Amino acid sequence: MTVRQRLLEVLRADPEIEVVGEASDGKRAIELCHELDPDVVTLDMMLPVMTGLAATEYIMAHHPTPILVVSASFNRGELFKTYDALAAGAVDVMEKPRGDDSDADWDEQFRAAVKLVSRIKVITHPRARLGALGRSSNAVPAVASRHPPPSLSPTPSAGGSRRSRKAELIAIGASTGGPAALVAVLSAIPSGFPIPIVIVLHIDEVFGAAFADWLDSQTHHRVAYPRDGDVVASYKGRVAMAPPGRHLVVRAHRFGLTTDPPRHSCRPSIDVLFDAIAEDYAAAAAGCILTGMGRDGAAGLLAIRRQGGAAFAQDEATSVVYGMPREAMLNGAAERILPLDQIGAALTALATVDARGAFEP
């Protein structure tokens, strides 16, 4: 039995799900999206004629539809294509069935994921449209190229005013829609940025292993998983990312990794990191919550704001899912709510500059 046949069998066993079509290649998947207007599409990355990534880019550019990627987690090349698909607008990813004891609950998890993804309202994805413009439906769109680094001069914050408050550590949390949002934010922050940036992204543990390497390849910033005990200041000019399956904390200005219980069903948790930096850095901490489902990060961002630190959240119009940012707005944590294309500039404005307008070391 092929994986596609297995998926069809699992979905058809649920009376709440109607399978309206199936495609054996990416080009046919695009055609069926136009013909049938489905509520959700499940998509493999490794497809003939037109890859799953190319199909994702085209669908999100021309017929936006919630996409659940069903992919293998052990192949680095397929992992990178999965990350590219998420950055192009796919909503979520789930591992293919392995055909062993680990599949015990797979059918139920797959059906639940399909139902959840189908309820997410998606919009035309800018990155996908850039990737798909000018290409015919039987061509394979290329992955977006590495962004050229901006100049070392900081970008003014929205509205032209600069903050007098400066930061010593910036933490960013993201979930659904996070890969594309993180690329956008990091690409807008100049290279040589003197403040360590720390990221927590909700991504299934089996898919997280190579994400830091992928994110490193997408922008001009070096991205890595820190080791337990690393000095935070050693990440000036770099980005530290919480490793999959472990909480990332900061104590005495050093990184720590823990396997404490999940918070909000998440490990790593944004709240865990934000709470830690609020205590360790006080007013010198800055936090930002990007697109994502749930409420992880809102309480931690409030802790940062109460300590006098800067606290930002992405706005509803540019969020794939306005869940976590909305919670940060409702609980009063977000002092500024910004569209995605202004967040990089707002974070850049937290750095100290000299009289020439260049970053101070």
Q: Which long-range contacts (CB under 8 A, 24 or more apart) does 137-145 make?
A: 137/27, 137/30, 137/31, 137/50, 137/58, 138/27, 138/49, 138/50, 139/50, 139/54, 140/50, 140/51, 140/53, 140/54, 141/53, 141/54, 141/57, 141/58, 143/53, 143/84, 144/84, 144/87, 144/218
- From 73, 175, 269, 319, the catalytic residue: 175
Whether 62 is catalytic: no
Whether 247 is catalytic: no
C-alpha span between 223 and 357 (Å, rounded) = 26
- From 71, 73, 125, 202, the catalytic residue: 202
CA-to-CA dists, residue 162 to 76, 85, 300, 357, angstroms: 42, 36, 25, 12
Please report the DSSP string for 118-171 in residue order: HTS-----HHHHHHHTT--TTS-PPPPPPPPPPPSSPPPPGGG---S---SEEE
Q: Judge whether 223 and 239 are in contact, CB under 8 Å.
A: yes
By C-alpha distance, which of 261, 263, 319 is closest to 289? Answer: 319
Whether 175 is catalytic: yes
Phi, psi (rounded to 5 degrees) for 314:
-75, 150
Catalytically annotated residues: 175, 202, 296
